Structure 1
């Protein structure tokens, strides 16, 4: 049992409503498949090579999607902060092994739900369908395109400034190593970038 359960469930529901309004009777049918639980720092919610079954909502803490290459180097694809959904989307859609891992970087609380069960509810409820479409458009298309363009057109310093804007305060909650991994630079390069940014 997690303390403040009602608070976290309300947080989840309010987040759904930012995409599209979800009726009370629809949410009442969704509620039984939600699993609220604490997560520990370092915990893997899914590992690369495993087939994901659950989608997650971050109530507290920080989760990252990451890839380890053949040389053993880690690359962070995305950070998931409170109020955001996290999951291995292609693995969920295709029921295939995930190409990356989801790991907790900062202990917190998440809501997990079986992806196949929520898909069945989406098919049967127009309001959930509207949420799902809006979520896909914003997160799987628009935000993904923004990130790809940033990495293709911005300098390392500009990418760092975009990171600070996208994830306010996160630079004080995760290691510089993690930030460097996300930006595609070495920790030494990030240190130089930070000196330039903060000396002004």
Structure 2
């Protein structure tokens, strides 16, 4: 664990303010809760069935939330790239076992936030409350609904094109296996799609 470098604290501040601007005083209180951590590729921050205690901010690298089916196969639910918050939100809110794992799929650098301390802080500072509400609305209402609609109405090819729009640089950083898992198709199907789009 490391002291938060200025470049990462500035990155964190820009992301916070992109949802709702907070005061310097409130941000200083929030910054005091952070610790910087390097995460090797393949390491889990949350295991399926574990009750989450922290949430995370991705400074560098990529995290993924993984669902494991009854056959033991992993399905990627979400990617979290630099500038994203990551965590098992339902587990944190309900203090219940997480339905999915959270894994670094490349070597990553993250900021770790203790959720209980954070929740107390946002209850005591209205500007942090506004950020929290704006974050939940954008990510867990608007963006989540868009993704659910896409999966219900789009073809696999359309979902792949949406993925490229949403994550323009990600395809060069992760395995095709990861992308296929996220899209809910097999790597062979993804290969055919990419061939049909002249991307191979």
Provide TM-score, normalisation by structure 1: 0.97
Q: By how many angstroms is 1:197 displaced?
A: 1.5
* CA distance in 2 between partners of 1:105 and 1:93 (Å): 25
Tell me if 1:72 matches 2:72: yes
Q: SS of 1:106's equivalent?
A: coil
Q: By how many angstroms is 1:2 displaced?
A: 4.8
State the Cα deviation string for residues 76-102 of structure 1 (Å, max 9, x = none): 000000000000000000000000000
Report what 2:191 is aligned to. Answer: 191
Q: By how many angstroms is 1:198 displaced?
A: 2.4
* CA distance in 2 between partners of 1:4 and 1:136 (Å): 25
With 142-151 and 4-13 compared, the bigger mean Cα shift is at 4-13
Tell me if 1:46 matches 2:46: yes
Q: SS of 1:113's equivalent?
A: strand
Q: SS of 2:32's equivalent?
A: helix
- For the aligned residues, what is the CA RMSD? 1.4
Q: Quick check: 2:4–2:34 contact (8 Å CA) kept in 1? A: no
* CA distance in 1 between partners of 2:191 and 2:165 (Å): 18
Q: SS of 2:71's equivalent?
A: coil
CA change 1:3–1:168 in 2 (3 A) is farther
Report what 2:62 is aligned to. Answer: 62
* CA distance in 2 between partners of 1:187 and 1:199 (Å): 14
Report what 1:104 is aligned to. Answer: 104
Report what 2:159 is aligned to. Answer: 159
Q: By how many angstroms is 1:19 displaced?
A: 0.4
Report what 2:17 is aligned to. Answer: 17
* CA distance in 1 between partners of 2:169 and 2:192 (Å): 19
Q: Quick check: 2:3–2:36 contact (8 Å CA) kept in 1? A: no
Q: Quick check: 2:52–2:91 contact (8 Å CA) kept in 1? A: yes
Q: Quick check: 2:68–2:74 contact (8 Å CA) kept in 1? A: yes
* CA distance in 2 between partners of 1:74 and 1:124 (Å): 39
- Structure 1 residue ranges (4+ consecutive) displaced by more than 3 angstroms after TM superposition: 1-4
Q: Quick check: 2:57–2:85 contact (8 Å CA) kept in 1? A: yes
* CA distance in 2 between partners of 1:81 and 1:196 (Å): 28
CA change 1:78–1:6 in 2 (3 A) is same
Q: Return 5+ residue gaps in structure 2 as ranges.
A: none
Q: Return 5+ residue gaps in structure 1 as ranges.
A: none
Provide TM-score, normalisation by structure 2: 0.97
